């Protein structure tokens, strides 16, 4: 596995947001984890079993996961088949990162709560580290 694909896959096991509302909850792509109690709420349990109507900022988590999975599929297809439009992968990663800003903003608007959008920083860092030249060229900012 190349380093770029490894970095993209590593995002799956890092917390995307840290939500603080009296206690701390880590928001991973696959679950919510409460380190104090060890409680884990998987994403499917959260969306399909435990909630019925979610505000938009909480739906952002699931949307981000879908975008992230698209980026993983794109990068993996590039590795397996030798054909990848890195702009698509990078765009999906950046959009996945932006969803965590939405989650943090909505969470922070509630009294006594705040969230730190680590996923935004992590996704942007992966794109910047491996593909900044591609991004610059894609938006017409290349130095040529």
* pLDDT tens-place string over residues 72-89: 999 999 999 998 899 899
118 vs 48, 83, 144, CA distance in Å?
Answer: 25, 30, 34
In angstroms, rounded to a whole number, what is the distance separating the alpha carbons of residues 86 and 78? 9
> Model-level pTM?
0.88
Average pLDDT of the segment spanning 133-138: 72
What does the pLDDT read at residue 27? 95
57 vs 33 pLDDT, higher one: 33
Confidence of residue 30 (pLDDT cuts 50, 70, 90): very high
Confidence of residue 51 (pLDDT cuts 50, 70, 90): low
Residues 74/92, Cβ–Cβ less than 8 Å: yes
What count of residues does the chain have? 144
Give the chain's mean pLDDT: 90
């Amino acid at each position: 596995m190349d380093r770029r694909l490894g970095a993209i896959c590593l995002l799956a096991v890092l917390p995307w947001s840290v939500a603080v509302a009296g206690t701390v909850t880590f928001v991973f792509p696959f679950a919510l984890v409460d380190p104090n109690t060890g409680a884990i709420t998987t994403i499917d349990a959260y969306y399909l079993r435990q909630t019925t109507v979610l505000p938009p900022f909480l739906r952002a988590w699931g949307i981000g996961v879908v975008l992230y999975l698209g980026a993983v599929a794109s990068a993996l297809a590039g590795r397996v088949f030798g054909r990848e439009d890195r702009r698509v992968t990078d765009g999906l990663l950046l959009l996945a990162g932006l969803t965590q800003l939405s989650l943090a903003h909505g969470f922070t608007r509630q009294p006594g709560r705040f969230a730190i959008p680590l996923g935004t920083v992590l996704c942007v860092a992966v794109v910047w580290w491996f593909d900044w030249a591609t991004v610059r060229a894609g938006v017409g900012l290349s130095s040529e």
